[in-house]
Structure 1
Amino acid sequence: MTFPSRSHPVRSPFPGAPPLPVVATAVPEACGVPPFAPLRVGRGRHRLRRTVRRRRHAVAAGLAMTAAALAASAAGSRAPAGVDEPRAGTAPHREREPVEMVSAPVRIADAATVRLLRPGDRVDVIASPVAPVDGRADARVLARGARVAEVPRATGGEGPDGGGALVVLSVPRATATVLAGAGAASRLAVTLC
């Protein structure tokens, strides 16, 4: 099938140019469309959403299990030794009030050891009796993991027993009382934690 040619020429887009001739073109005949199955477009997007949703659920379940395990282990570690766990159906023990920390000045027998300490260090304070009882000098730990708050400079004066150096420890109030009492009757030493 062909189109009839036009009687008037097509005007050129360029000014001053001659008009363009009209050329008749042949149009191909229509052919049949072969049968094919219908296409389903857009289903991959739903699959991707479903996969992402499943992964989110898996991650959320993993985080919930981890939080439950941490809570269970923390609750188990809070019970003091020798205290039974609460039975099922009973009210849990209340948390203890926070321990009030105080600064306790302690005279350590070995001044050279005190010179090694810096604020922020953790030390164990050990007491040994000045005069051994029955030939035995049993040392005992008075404070574990006490934080060194300050190491005052030596002013040239020595301790009452002729030696030692002062260190200020941050300890609970009850431990400060024990340290003050032991300092009068025992020689104190520290070990770095």
Structure 2
Amino acid sequence: MTTNSCLTHTPASVPAPCGLPSFDPLRVRGARLRLRRALRRKRRAPAAVLAMTAVTLAAAGAAGADDPAPQPPPPPARVAHRPAAVPLVSAPVRIADAATVRLLRRGDRVDVIAAPNSVTGVAGEARVIASGARVAEVPQPGETRSEGGALVVLSVPRSTATALAGAGMTSQLAVTLC
């Protein structure tokens, strides 16, 4: 039995280098022939796309080689911190002047003002109860009452809805368009 020096080694020693047999170089035949055949078969569009891609990549590589140093990326844009969204509730509000309510449309922004009520005898100045409230619902033309005002639904934060309900009991409410 013959032993190959490449396969036998002692644990303490490094194996001897093995020689590789020489191989003939590989030659791919027909590459040019396939390209010619593809062009003859009217497959020029893919060949044109490949050629254009190669030209574009070569031009981009040449343009990048002329730049002495790469440009640093622009600094990230500062993001404005928005306040946390406050959940809105629907607050029905009786506005004293029905003609004013007829001017309102859904989506309008209004300020709600509480004026002292002469009937209850509460003295004081007019004050703004809600600022920039969005009109959610307005009454239909036949639903307003000239003597009792008109009911409007506003979208406001919960705390503002509480203030509107309290002010509606002791004061006459009016709106101004924002």
User: Per chain length, whose mean CA-contact separation is higher, i.e. which structure has more relative contact order (CA < 8 Å, sep 6+)?
Assistant: 2
Partner of 1:181: 166
TM-score, scaled relative to structure 1: 0.51
Post-superposition CA distance 1:49-78 (Å, at most 9, x none): x56x31xx2xx333x2x32xx45xx38xx5
The yes-or-no answer on 1:123 pairing with 2:142 is: no
Query: Unmatched 5+ residue regions in structure 2?
Result: 1-60
Give the direction of change, closer, same or farther, for the CA distance of 1:45–1:143 in structure 2 (3 Å limit). Answer: closer
Q: What is the distance in 1 between the residues matched to 2:133 and 2:103?
A: 15
Give the direction of change, closer, same or farther, for the CA distance of 1:43–1:117 in structure 2 (3 Å limit). Answer: closer
CA contact (8 A) 2:98 2:144 kept: no
Q: What is the distance in 1 between the residues matched to 2:169 and 2:87?
A: 24
Deviation at 1:111, TM superposition (A): 1.0
Partner of 1:46: 65
Partner of 2:130: 143
What SS does the aligned partner of 1:152 have? Answer: coil
Give the RMSD, CA atoms, in angstroms: 2.8
- 5 Å-filtered alignment, 1:16-27, equals none
TM-score, scaled relative to structure 2: 0.55
- 5 Å-filtered alignment, 1:30-109, equals 45-48=64-67, 50=68, 53-54=70-71, 57=72, 60-62=73-75, 64=76, 66-67=77-78, 70-71=79-80, 74=81, 98-109=85-96
Give the direction of change, closer, same or farther, for the CA distance of 1:46–1:176 in structure 2 (3 Å limit). Answer: same
CA contact (8 A) 1:100 1:173 kept: yes
Q: How high is the sequence identity, in percent, across the aligned residues?
A: 59
What SS does the aligned partner of 1:120 have? Answer: coil
Moved over 2 A (4+): 42-45, 131-134, 154-159
What is the number of equivalent residue pairs in this alignment? 116
Give the direction of change, closer, same or farther, for the CA distance of 1:188–1:120 in structure 2 (3 Å limit). Answer: same
What SS does the aligned partner of 1:61 have? Answer: coil
Query: Unmatched 5+ residue regions in structure 1?
Result: 1-41, 79-95
Deviation at 1:154, TM superposition (A): 4.8
Q: Which has the larger radius of gyration?
A: 1
The residue type paired with residue 66 of structure 2 is R
Deviation at 1:129, TM superposition (A): 0.9
